[in-house]
């Protein structure tokens, strides 16, 4: 009976240690704050981009700086990758595309089509998770050894820095705004972003310190983890049968 109780717990503990992670940084020509937030600003509005979270979320904060409402039409706003558009607003709930021989897998969150922003206020949206698979890094790609700050001290790990024209992913964010509800005076923004570097580590992001706003996280099971995942179901079934005896 005790074996049946403790075996599933032991398997779960083992599985938690069978993942590897990528910490992926985004760069842009936009102005960047001390916390690595990207800012597009004029006299009418301020748009703030952050990417912190799982699977490359495009987090957008739009602040209205004037004394009358402004509007954002998300159905006429898009992410553009290799000249192909992915709208920020879509009736579909998933994203699967092949762009320039790269799999783009993620989620489109179905939300309001047009956002109304009153004076001196802002809205936060996270419309798309752009990527949920590891960034491909060639076996012979050069890397630096860096000290990654964690709750348990510094961990030595590999950091891959991509030179110009070798970025694994580049995209633009195109947003349509207006100071009129009928959008007869549209305002357009078009900002460029790219993956600048990748850190690969066995440390879960929850235990990593100093997370900048331009960094997102990806998770992948190791070979041993995939083996355990394939066999653990059978073992758990056996343990369940033992518990009933």
Rounded distance, CA 57 to CA 59, Å? 6
Rounded distance, CA 90 to CA 216, Å? 23
Closest-CA residue to 3 (of 11, 231, 230, 224)? 11
Q: Select, from the ranges 81-95, 123-137, 187-201, 217-231, the one with the highest average predicted confidence (pLDDT).
A: 187-201
Do residues 135 and 22 make contact, with C-beta atoms less than 8 angstroms apart? Answer: yes
**Tell me, what's the pLDDT at 232?**
46
- pLDDT tens profile 205-229: 999 999 999 999 999 987 654 544 4
Task: Count CB-CB contacts under 10 A for residue 223.
Answer: 8
Task: Count CB-CB contacts under 10 A for residue 56.
Answer: 23
Q: Assess whether pLDDT exceeds 70 at residue 159.
A: yes
DSSP state at residue 231 = H
- pLDDT tens profile 16-27: 568 999 999 999
Parse the chain into domains and list their residue ranges: 1-18+222-245, 19-221
């Amino acid at each position: 009976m005790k074996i049946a109780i403790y075996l599933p717990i032991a398997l779960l503990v083992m599985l938690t240690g069978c993942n590897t992670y990528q910490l992926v940084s985004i760069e842009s020509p936009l102005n960047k704050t001390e916390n690595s937030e990207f800012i597009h600003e004029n006299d009418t509005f301020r748009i703030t981009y952050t990417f912190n979270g799982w699977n490359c979320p495009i987090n957008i904060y739009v602040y209205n700086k004037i004394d009358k409402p402004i509007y954002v039409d998300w159905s006429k706003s898009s992410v553009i990758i290799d000249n192909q558009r992915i709208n920020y607003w879509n009736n579909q709930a998933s994203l699967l595309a092949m762009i320039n021989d790269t799999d783009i897998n993620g989620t489109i969150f179905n939300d309001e089509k047009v956002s109304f922003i009153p004076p001196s206020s802002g809205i936060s949206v996270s419309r798309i998770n752009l990527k949920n698979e590891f960034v491909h890094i060639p076996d012979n790609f050069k890397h630096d050894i860096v000290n990654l700050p964690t709750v348990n001290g510094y961990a030595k790990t590999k950091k891959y820095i991509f030179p110009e024209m070798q970025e694994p992913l580049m995209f633009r964010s195109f947003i349509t705004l207006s100071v009129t509800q009928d959008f007869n005076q549209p305002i357009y923004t078009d900002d460029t972003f790219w993956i600048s570097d990748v850190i690969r580590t066995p440390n879960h992001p929850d235990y990593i310190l100093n997370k900048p706003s331009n960094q997102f996280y990806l998770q992948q099971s190791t070979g041993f983890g995939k083996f355990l995942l394939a066999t653990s179901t059978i073992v758990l079934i056996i343990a369940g049968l033992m518990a009933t005896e």
